[in-house]
Structure 1
């Protein structure tokens, strides 16, 4: 599927909020997205569009030399088509350019599809936050990517940039 990635703007927030609500049982409030787009110096925000329609979003915080993936979502009608993977790859490339050397995130224990995608990028489970999600007391899986380099990323069309030898080791 063809999609375009661009920086999130204030005009995107109503659609992003709807997307967030369709994706998560604990969505962010509007003021949080506004803060991320306008006032948080650590925040980098992008959206993915298909035919001009926002169908995905990602918010990443650059904290010293770490990229913290704060949220990543794809509209339910557009899942499993490489959009989340493209957003993550795009964001991490920008984070590398800005000096990030590693990345980390939290993901619901039940979100196996997301965990599988993160593993494709080289993230590894490093721990848990017990009962992190307050809607159902579900654990958060902590995942880290300790060596963040462009060579380890998946390109935005879904192909791996790893060499054949490294691909076979995974």
Structure 2
């Protein structure tokens, strides 16, 4: 992710979440937060123009990665782009020495929960009334034992 991506990233955030981050949060992550790994997923249009269709922000502290946000533009969901973005997010985190990944996901977002489970994340608990727009619980998920074996498994997925 680069500064020029922020308007499109924010658009994806607004279309994906009822509590989107303000644009200035992405600016902070890119310019001031040394723990941030920020990625975008892009496709190339028929006229050879790159278009951002997804984004992820991860905070890496020592050997842990917290996936703070990850989303694919609604028009591009269901085509494997989320799996590709999550794969690259985990791959780059492992390359930075991460051995544990964490995230929160809305209790009613069963599609995302299933994708995370398919990648080996485990449900370890919940944060009650975490989402302030509707007091929905967040499901806490973790993925541990990240390393070379997990990278090899990601390679076998062929995502």
| Structure 2: distance between partners of 1:39 and 1:83 | 28
1:147 is matched with 145
RMSD (Å) for aligned C-alpha atoms? 1.5
Is it true that 1:19 corresponds to 2:16 in the alignment?
A: no
Is it true that 1:72 corresponds to 2:65 in the alignment?
A: no
Identify which of 123, 126, 129 aligns with 2:124.
126
Is it true that 1:10 corresponds to 2:8 in the alignment?
A: no
Q: How far is 1:155 from its partner? A: 4.0
Identify which of 34, 40, 45 aligns with 1:41.
34
| Structure 2: distance between partners of 1:142 and 1:82 | 23
Q: How far is 1:107 from its partner? A: 0.3
User: Where do residues 61-140 of structure 1 align in structure 2 (5 Å cutoff)?
Assistant: 61-140=59-138
| Structure 1: distance between partners of 2:148 and 2:111 | 23
Q: Gapped runs of 5+ residues in structure 2?
A: 45-49
Q: Gapped runs of 5+ residues in structure 1?
A: 1-7, 162-170
TM-score (norm 2): 0.91
Structure 1 runs (4+) greater than 6 angstroms displaced: none
| Structure 1: distance between partners of 2:71 and 2:80 | 12
Deviations 1:44-100 (A, max 9, x none): 001011111110000111011101000000000100111111111111111111110
